[in-house]
Chains A and B, each alone.
Chain A
Amino acid sequence: MSIAKGNITDWVEKYTDELVSWAYYKTKQQALAEDIVQDTFIAAYNNIGKFQSKSSPKTWLFSILKNKIADHFRNKLQQSMVHESDMQSESSSNILDRLFDNTGSWVTASRPSSWDTPEEELLDNQEFNKVLKACMDLLNEKSYLSLQYKYLKGKEGRVICQELGITPSNFWQILHRAKLQLRECIDQNWFN
């Protein structure tokens, strides 16, 4: 048995559960999550030469998995954009009309006020992350997929736009509405 295969068999035993549960959380479909994890191990096997034993196998496997899930989100996003000729779907343009008046000023009730919890205390706070998840689940599909893709890839904005085949101005407008909606949702459900 080669070293590579011996390692990977061991990793399959050790890390499959965690990888599938993360993939499932992202995709919401068990069969799909399992397929993506299987692809992850095949990619790891084929690229074992790139694995540096200094880093942990788990971190390496997760980085492959993140890329695979990001690619899945990109395909879904591209499909959803083909079906939707108008970039501004109704629900997402409403947020601008709800938060700003016809001169473009904040509507009084929507003006941002200070957040009293420091960011560092929120990052790993389970309760806060539950609220953030609930707020993200309220986004329309295009905004949700765009956010997931952007942050899973962790690349520079222009590169992300190229990969998605979308113009930067379209992309930042999607993110603008998504962030306005998330900010408002978190403001109402966590800070108040």
Chain B
Amino acid sequence: MHYMFLSCRKATELIEKKLLIGLSAKEKVQLMFHTSMCDACKKYSKQSHELDDLIRHHIENFIPEQSDLRPIASEFKEKIVNSLEKKE
């Protein structure tokens, strides 16, 4: 196979590598060449970038409305304040 040709499997791998640590010059050309001809991987690339933003936002901000967390006892807050007092 010509060195310019990537499989879709390899192209999606490079799309993720690009997002994480960047690509070598050769990899950039290979990926550009592939996505210019492959509609599915072009869509994957766009969605992978969107997904990156969505995951980041979700991980930083999302709290489900309902939680089975037990209520925080006031003793717990006292315990924290006491642990700070010991440090003085």
Task: Give A residues with C-beta under 8 Å from B.
Answer: 2, 5, 8-9, 12-13, 16-17, 20-22, 24-25, 30, 33-34, 37-38, 41-42, 45-46, 66, 96, 99-100, 103-106, 111-115, 119, 122-124, 126, 128-130, 132-133, 136, 147-148, 151-152, 154, 157-158, 161, 168, 171-173, 175-176, 179-180, 182-183, 186
Contact at A119–B20, with CB atoms within 8 Å? no
A-B interface contact total, Cβ < 8 Å: 137
Residues in A whose Cβ lies below 8 Å from that of B54: 119, 122-123, 128, 132
Which applies to chain B's interface (DSSP): helix, strand, loop or mixed? helix
Contact at B81–A9, with CB atoms within 8 Å? yes
Question: Which residue of chain B has the shortest Cβ distance to A46 in the bound complex?
Answer: B87
Which among B55, B64, B81, B87 is the interface contact of A25 at CB below 8 angstroms? B64
Q: Tell me, in angstroms, the Cα distance from A163 to B13 when the chains sit together.
A: 22
Contact at B79–A133, with CB atoms within 8 Å? no
Q: Tell me, in angstroms, the Cα distance from A173 to B21 when the chains sit together.
A: 12
Asked if A106 meets B40 with Cβ closer than 8 Å, knowing A158-B21, A172-B20, the reply is yes
Beta-carbon contacts under 8 Å, B20-51 to A: 20-22, 40-41, 43-44, 47-48, 50-51
Asked if B2 is at the interface (CB within 8 A of a chain A CB), the reply is: no
Residues in A whose Cβ lies below 8 Å from that of B40: 106, 111-112
Contact at B47–A104, with CB atoms within 8 Å? no
